[in-house]
Structure 1
Amino acid sequence: MKPIHATTLLAAVALAASGVVSAQSTVLYGPEDEGRRFSDGSRVVCTDVEVRQADSDPNRIGGTAAGAVIGGLVGRQVGGGSGRDIATVGGAVAGGVIGRNVQGNRQEARGDRVVEQRCERVWR
């Protein structure tokens, strides 16, 4: 059997200790723990946090694309020659911006948010 070197033993102890520390830092606290005090002077504090629910289109790609197509079609009806091309591009850009804003306003109006209670250990 091979002898264990001191550096190997030291590394194993350090690795095990770091696992214990990280396990302690990932402890989850719930509302039932609110006000709980620890020997180091820390305590559990809970707060209400407004979080966003998962949207089917959080980046508003649908509104941007629809607005760009509509804006491009409207811009195409304006002007003639090279002015028509510029109006098409300008209409597509403006329509994309407007479509993105409209979709964002509709998502906000639908109330895609929920309030969660989150608890964490604080040192004061």
Structure 2
Amino acid sequence: MNTRKMLRLLAAAPLLLGAGVAGAQQTYGPEDEGRRFSDGSRVVCEEVEVAQNTKDPNRIAGTATGAVIGGLLGNQVGGGKGKKLATVGGAVAGGAIGRNIQGNNQERRGQRQVETRCERVWR
């Protein structure tokens, strides 16, 4: 390896090593609550209620079902290019409505658990 290549490699090494360190995120637990840092930030913890055991957390079933129904209903409207536009619009609207309905049902039926979550805040 010639000198020029070696110098380039040595110059890039801190950047490569720093990228790995910058990507790591510090996690904090309840034992860190109230901890203060020199930059004025501190660790704050709060108890949040989270849903447990949802089979479809991304609401894919509700979105897909709503999109199919909306597309079928939209297909019944208009003719030509208007019919295509109505089909697509119905599918989009139906997907959004289906996702919302499934989310509301999951909220109503879901099991809840309280967790303590801590984060560093700059206030």
| Bin of the TM-score, shorter chain as denominator length | 0.5 to 0.7
Which ranges of structure 2 fall in alignment gaps of 5 or more residues?
1-28, 32-44, 119-123
Identity %: 67
Corresponding residue number in structure 2 for 1:88: 87
The 1:53/1:73 distance shift into structure 2, 3 A limit, reads same
Greater radius of gyration (CA): 1
Distance, in Å, in 2 between the alignment partners of 1:95 and 1:68 is: 5
Tell me how far 1:49 sits from its aligned partner.
4.1
- Alignment size in residue pairs: 79
Distance, in Å, in 2 between the alignment partners of 1:78 and 1:47 is: 51
Deviations 1:49-104 (A, max 9, x none): 42220310000000000000000000000001110000000000000000000000
Distance, in Å, in 2 between the alignment partners of 1:28 and 1:101 is: 34
The 1:113/1:75 distance shift into structure 2, 3 A limit, reads same
Distance, in Å, in 2 between the alignment partners of 1:102 and 1:55 is: 15
> RMSD over aligned Cα, in angstroms?
2.8
Secondary structure of the 2:110 match is coil
Secondary structure of the 1:115 match is strand
Distance, in Å, in 2 between the alignment partners of 1:94 and 1:47 is: 36
Secondary structure of the 1:103 match is helix
Tell me how far 1:115 sits from its aligned partner.
2.8
Q: What code does the residue aligned with 2:92 have? A: V
Corresponding residue number in structure 1 for 2:60: 61
Corresponding residue number in structure 2 for 1:50: 49
Q: What code does the residue aligned with 1:105 have? A: N
Distance, in Å, in 1 between the alignment partners of 2:74 and 2:46 is: 50
Q: What code does the residue aligned with 2:88 have? A: V
